Chains A and B, each alone.
Chain A
Amino acid sequence: MAECSDEAQAELSDKEKKDIAVWFLSNAPVGEISYVAKDIRALIGDDKLYDMAASEAFPRHNKAHLLILELPDRSGDVIITGHGEIGKNQYLEPRTAQVATVDHIKQVCTGLRPAMDDELPSPYIEEFRYALDVELCKYVAEAYPKGISAVYCTRGKDIDGPGNDFEFVAIISASKKSPRNFCNGNWRSVWTFEFKDETQLVGVKGKIQVAAHYFEEGNVQLDTKNEFNDSTIFQSPEDCAVQLTNIVRHHEYEYFQSLEASYLHLPDGMFKDLRRKLPITRTLFPWHNTLQFSVTRDISKELGIGK
């Protein structure tokens, strides 16, 4: 660069530095925020600013990636998600009806208490929630070696009988971290079930995101997502649970198949369009043969192929 520092932008403001830190932290791949944190902290060189950025970025990152944390008493795991956020740094674990206090930056649970009655759904709603949770659990256990699921009532948790609408969100989160093998990845499913009294239907909306990162002497990332819609009849809690889980199972399996299909298609499709393995002559390029070049050049010009 000819002219450099003198004319360069004035020293970055504190706010700009903090915003940069937040950006890097937010864009860290799954499971790597602590490495990114170490780097950006060194680069910012100001611990106070870094702490501000971290307290803003870590909760967002943890929620977006559906971080799974073990409960302090080892009774299970809690998924960090906005759908289960009861208060600042407090997350509901619906299966064991407990609320965990979480330190986002250290990514651990620092406290645990039983959930209060007003934080939990009514018995009527809980019947549906519990049945669905049991069915989903079975499905997740067979499909995902490291998957954790939870079902939250996000609307209408105080309804005490039929005649009203309510809504559940089911979350499935599975992640694998192998930093020694330079590879990390996760699968995130968020399924929303809208129980509608008037039509006696349950509307289903799903969103699946899969991400993977391989970074041995390079940086390759997979980032995929898809959305689904479906519906089923509003029935008894157990029947709903089975039906809804079937719908989830069906769509997720199909999505997995389509991911596989995309990978299988890569070598012959897009990849080959970008760069062939060998020229059409099936031989290596004749670098030493300059005569051939002039001939080829002239032919190219005649055929108008030249650039």
Chain B
Amino acid sequence: MEAALDLMRRIPPKKSETALNALLSLLPHHSSDLLSQVDLPLQVSMDDASMKEFLLCEYNRDADSYRSPWSNKYFPPLEDGPLPSEELRNLEVEANEIFSIYCDQYYEGGISSVYMWEDDNHGFVACFLIKKNGSKGGQDKRGNLQEGSWDAIHVIEVSPDEDGIAAHYCLTSTVMLSLTTENKTSGNFKLAGSIRRQMNLDLSMAEGHLCNMGRMIEDMESKLRNSLEQVYFGKTREMVCTLRPPPEGVQICLPDSRPI
């Protein structure tokens, strides 16, 4: 598995789907590990019942069908597909509504979905997904092509304490980002990447789970966004400048590195 994960860190991010499929066929017995530890850009499907789009991932899948967070139904339809308990479903519904507003505020568009399910230890796991496609829809008038996409996957394991006052939250977040521009003067410019981080917090449940989870996610997304912009993209730019230093007198191109 270690070899498999190392490979995924080296293969170009845009080819991760092909890479993952190859690994799955080489290591069929590790498929559930691979699927849970390797993230791919999210796919979208349509919930015909509520006429809304929803995101697909391992956490809302059963066989070849996916459960929509809006109508709580499986598409294509499935008999006996697992559903969250009523109590959890209520939380899930509220989470989806609030998260979609959060999504509008930060992403000004984009699609969001939240899925929850019970785990074995009296707690539950929630998965918050966002997909934003920033393509400028093909070429603009100067023949410039610009495409971009942001996929965020946040999985939170919630374990309430025995005393019922606080809970432990373990958040694992992955952001996958891709930016492509193509025009006559600069040719083809592609920057793509993914990063993953974890955050563990013990919080009082006074304001409720959603508040706690929401704040963690917001904090994490900001950190990841900054990290991608400054550190990751900055490092690749630094590499270009190392290979071919800019002439004297041109401003230094090293970004000021801030800690993640």
Interchain CA distance A277-B15 in the complex, whole Å: 28
B187 x A224 contact (CB < 8 A): yes
B187 x A225 contact (CB < 8 A): yes
Q: Which stretch of A50-58, A113-121, A163-171, A213-221 is in the interface?
A: A213-221
For residue B218, CB closer than 8 A to chain A, the reply is yes
Identify which of B107, B192, B233, B236 contacts A275 (C-beta below 8 A). Answer: B107
- What residues of chain A lie closer than 8 Å to B4, measured between beta carbons? 39, 43
Identify which of A39, A147, A174, A267 contacts B7 (C-beta below 8 A). Answer: A39
- What residues of chain B lie closer than 8 Å to A267, measured between beta carbons? 229
Identify which of B101, B189, B242 contacts A176 (C-beta below 8 A). Answer: B242
- What residues of chain B lie closer than 8 Å to A184, measured between beta carbons? 239
- What residues of chain B lie closer than 8 Å to A183, measured between beta carbons? 235-236, 238-239
A276 x B22 contact (CB < 8 A): no
- What residues of chain A lie closer than 8 Å to B186, measured between beta carbons? 224, 226, 255, 258-259, 261-262
For residue A291, CB closer than 8 A to chain B, the reply is no
- What residues of chain A lie closer than 8 Å to B107, measured between beta carbons? 274-276
Interchain CA distance A287-B190 in the complex, whole Å: 36
B6 x A39 contact (CB < 8 A): yes
Interchain CA distance A187-B242 in the complex, whole Å: 10
Question: What's the interface size class on A, roughly?
Answer: 35 or more
- What residues of chain B lie closer than 8 Å to A23, measured between beta carbons? 18, 22
B26 x A20 contact (CB < 8 A): yes
- What residues of chain B lie closer than 8 Å to A32, measured between beta carbons? 10
User: How many cross-chain pairs have Cβ atoms below 8 Å apart between A and B?
Assistant: 249
For residue B126, CB closer than 8 A to chain A, the reply is no
Measured CB to CB, the closest approach of chain B to A7, in angstroms, equals: 11
A274 x B148 contact (CB < 8 A): yes
Measured CB to CB, the closest approach of chain A to B225, in angstroms, equals: 6
Interface residues of A in 241-268 (CB under 8 A from B): 252, 254-256, 258-263, 266-267
Provided the pairs A218-B193, A221-B13 are in contact, do residues A270 and B233 lie with their beta carbons within 8 angstroms?
A: no
Q: Which residues of B contact A (CB under 8 A)?
A: 3-4, 6-13, 15, 18-19, 22-23, 25-29, 31-32, 35, 52-53, 62-63, 97-98, 100-102, 104-108, 111, 132, 134, 146, 148-150, 177, 179, 181, 185-197, 207, 210-211, 214-215, 218, 221-222, 225, 228-229, 232-233, 235-240, 242-246, 253
Q: Which residues of A contact B (CB under 8 A)?
A: 1-5, 8-9, 12, 16-17, 20, 23-24, 27-29, 32, 35-36, 38-40, 42-44, 143-147, 174-176, 183-187, 208, 210, 212-215, 217-227, 252, 254-256, 258-263, 266-267, 269-271, 273-281, 284-285, 287-288, 290, 293, 296-297, 300, 305, 307
- Not counting A147-B243, A275-B107, a sample of 17 additional A-B residue pairs whose C-beta atoms are within 8 angstroms of each other reads A42-B3, A44-B26, A185-B243, A186-B243, A210-B243, A218-B9, A219-B193, A219-B194, A220-B195, A221-B191, A222-B237, A258-B186, A258-B187, A259-B186, A273-B148, A277-B225, A293-B101
